[in-house]
Amino acid sequence: MVETLIDKCPRIETERLILRKWEERDLDGIVEMNADPRVMEFFPDVMSHDESAHMLARLMAKQDELGFACPVVEDRVSGRFLGFCGLNIPTYPIPLPFDPCVEIGWRLIPDAWGKGIAQESARIWLEFGFETLEIDEIVSFTTETNLRSQKLMQRLGMTRNSADDFNHQMLEDDHPLVRHVLYRLTKDRFESVSKS
Ligand SMILES: CC(C)(COP(=O)(O)OP(=O)(O)OC[C@H]1O[C@@H](n2cnc3c(N)ncnc32)[C@H](O)[C@@H]1OP(=O)(O)O)[C@@H](O)C(=O)NCCC(=O)NCCS
C-alpha cells in the first residue's frame, strides 16, 4: 500500500516554506547542516563532506524507490535549505525492534529552530501519511537525552510508552547515545488532536 501510494508525494508550499523532494543542488545545504555540532549533538558525530554526499545519494535513491525519504524543508522567500522533515521508512542493516514502520524524522539548521518550522512541516506530512497514504500509525524515535526532539513529538500528539524504549541497534551497548525512546501516533489520535 505505502509503496504504491507514496509515489504521490507532492511538493507543498505554505506561506513561508516549500516542502519538496531532495535534489542534487541540496548538497551544500546538507553538508553544512551535518557538519554543525549543534545539529549533531545527539548523533555519534558530525559528518564529513563525503559522508553527507553519501547520505544525499542514499536519500535520493530511496525517494526514487519509495516516493520520498525525509523530504527537504526550504525557505520559500530566500530559497535557503533549512533541513529535512517528513516521512521515511527506516532501512537499517539490522531491523528496529518495532519494524516494519513508517517514521517521521527531522533535522533543521539552527537558524530555523524556535520558529515552529519543524512542527508546521511535520503536521503537513502526518496529515498526508494518515489521510492520503492511509497509514495506521506513524512513529518517531530519538535518544532519551534529545528533549528538543521529544518536545516536538509531544506537541504533535505523539505518546511514549517506556516499555517501547530500546537500545539503538547501530550503536554499541555502552555508547552514551544508545538508549532511545519511541513515540507513536495513531491515525485516530492524530485526528482527535487536530480537532482539539
Ligand atoms: C528537533 C528540532 C527539529 C526541533 O526544532 P524546534 O524549532 O524546536 O521545533 P518546533 O518547530 O516544534 O518549534 C517549536 C519552538 O518554536 C517556537 N515558535 C515560534 N514561532 C512558532 C510558531 N509560529 N508555531 C509554533 N511554534 C513556534 C515555539 O515556542 C517553540 O519554542 P521553544 O522550543 O522555545 O518552546 C531541531 O531542534 C533540530 O533540528 N535539532 C537537531 C537535529 C535533531 O536532533 N533531530 C532529531 C533527531 S531524532
What angle, 0 to 180 degrees and rounded to 10, lies between the N-to-C axes of helices 27-34 and 49-66?
120
CATH of the domain at 21: 3.40.630.30
**119 C-alpha to ligand 1 centroid (Å):** 7
- In whole numbers, what is the pLDDT of the chain averaged over residues? 94
Give the closest residue (by CA) to ligand 1 atom 24.
116
Q: Give residue-wise pLDDT tens across range 129-161.
A: 999 889 999 999 999 999 999 999 999 999 999
Closest ligand 1 atom to Cα of 118: 11
The Cα–Cα gap between 13 and 95 comes to: 34
Helix extents (H) in 143-186: 147-155
Quickly count helices (H) and strands (E) in the chain.
Answer: 6, 9
pLDDT above 90 (res 5): no
Closest ligand 1 atom to Cα of 117: 11
Task: Note the pLDDT of residue 180.
Answer: 98
Of 87, 106, 142, which is best to mutate to test ligand 1, by the most ligand atoms within 8 angstroms of its C-beta? 106
pLDDT above 60 (res 2): no
Give the closest residue (by CA) to ligand 1 atom 48.
142
Strand segments (E) across the chain: 12-13, 17-20, 72-75, 81-88, 103-108, 137-143, 159-160, 166-167, 179-186
Q: pLDDT confidence of 181, banded at 50, 70, 90?
A: very high
Give the closest residue (by CA) to ligand 1 atom 20.
115
Structural Rg of the chain based on CA atoms = 16
User: Which three cell numbers, joined as nine digits, stand for 28?
Assistant: 551544500
- The total of structural domains in the chain comes to 1
The Cα–Cα gap between 126 and 152 comes to: 13
Domain membership of residue 186 as a residue range: 2-195
